[in-house]
Structure 1
C-alpha cells in the first residue's frame, strides 16, 4: 500500500462548496483506504495499491459525478510531498506567503514563463527547484500581483493547483499517523 495525498483544485471558491467529510466518503466509495482530510482546501490523504495516474482518472470522475462539477485533482506520493516541502528555496518571513504548485508534467516551465512576463510587486519572486515552481509574494498582495491574476485563467484550470508551503508540513505530520 502506498500513501498518497490528492490536491483538489478550486475547492470552496466561486460557489463550489464541499464538506471534507463528503469528499472523504467519495474517496472511500472509490475503494481507497485510510482516508483523511487536511484543512478545508481539499487535501485528502489515503492509501492505495493503484498507480497515481489511474487514481487521478477514477477520482476526478467520482468527484465530478458526486458534486456535479468538473473536478480536477493532482496526486502526489508521500515521498513527493516530502520533496515539495524540502525543496522550498525561500526562508520563513512573517510578511511573505510562499506557494507551491502541483500539476501536470512541465507545468513549472509554463508558470515560470508567465511569472517572468508579469509585473512584480516588491519581494515577489518565483523559482524552480527540482521541477517544482515556488512563488513568494507579500501577504495581502496575492491577488494584486499580475501573476496572481494569471492563475485563475480558464485555459490553465486543469493544469495545476497551488498550496501555501505550510500545508505540506501539516500533510506530512498527518500522513505518518
Structure 2
C-alpha cells in the first residue's frame, strides 16, 4: 500500500535534516519506493504494514538516527487525497489555507483552541470529514493567536499542519 508520512517540526527551530537522509532512514526501516515532497518532511513510500505499526517503526528509526524525539503521522493515499479534495475554502491568493494531519479526534481539540483564540479579520477554522482546516490572511500566520497555540509543546505529539498546496504536490507524486 502507498502511504505518506507527515513529519512534525522538520527544518524549523534547529531541527535540520536533508530529505535524502530521511528517505534513507525510511529505506533502512524496510520501506519501499521512498521519495520526498518538499523539505518540510513529506515522505511517500510503500509498505505492507498498517499505519499504526508504521508510525511506531518510523518514529523510532527517525529518533534513533537524528537523535531527537520524532513525531510523524502516516496516511494512506486515499486518506491523503481527502485533505486536498475536502478543503472547504475557495482558493484565494490573499490567504493561506492549512490542513492538519494528526491523531484521531485532534480536529476537535484544534477547533476548541481555535474558538477560544482571538481572531484576525477573515480568519476561519472548519472541520470537514474529521479534518481541521484553517484559513488566515497571508502575513498573519505566525502572529495570530491560534498560530501561537500550534507551537505548544503539549500538542507536539498530536498533529502537524501543511499548507493546502502541499497536498496537491503530494498527490501529483503519488
TM-score normalised to structure 2 length: 0.99
SS of residue matched to 1:88: coil
Aligned to 1:21: 20
Measure, in 2, the Cα distance between the counterparts of 1:15 and 1:113.
29
Matches within 5 A, 1:77-156: 77-156=76-155
Q: Which runs of 4+ in 1 moved over 3 A?
A: none
Aligned to 2:5: 6
Instruction: Give the total of aligned pairs.
Output: 174
5+ residue gaps, structure 1, are none
Residue-by-residue CA offset, 1:11-30 (whole Å, 9 max, x unaligned) = 00111000000000000000
TM-score normalised to structure 1 length: 0.98
When the two chains are superposed, the root-mean-square deviation of aligned CA atoms in Å is 0.4
Measure, in 2, the Cα distance between the counterparts of 1:80 and 1:63.
23
SS of residue matched to 1:85: helix
5+ residue gaps, structure 2, are none
Residue-by-residue CA offset, 1:56-115 (whole Å, 9 max, x unaligned) = 000000000000000000000000011111000000001100000000000000000000
Measure, in 2, the Cα distance between the counterparts of 1:171 and 1:77.
12
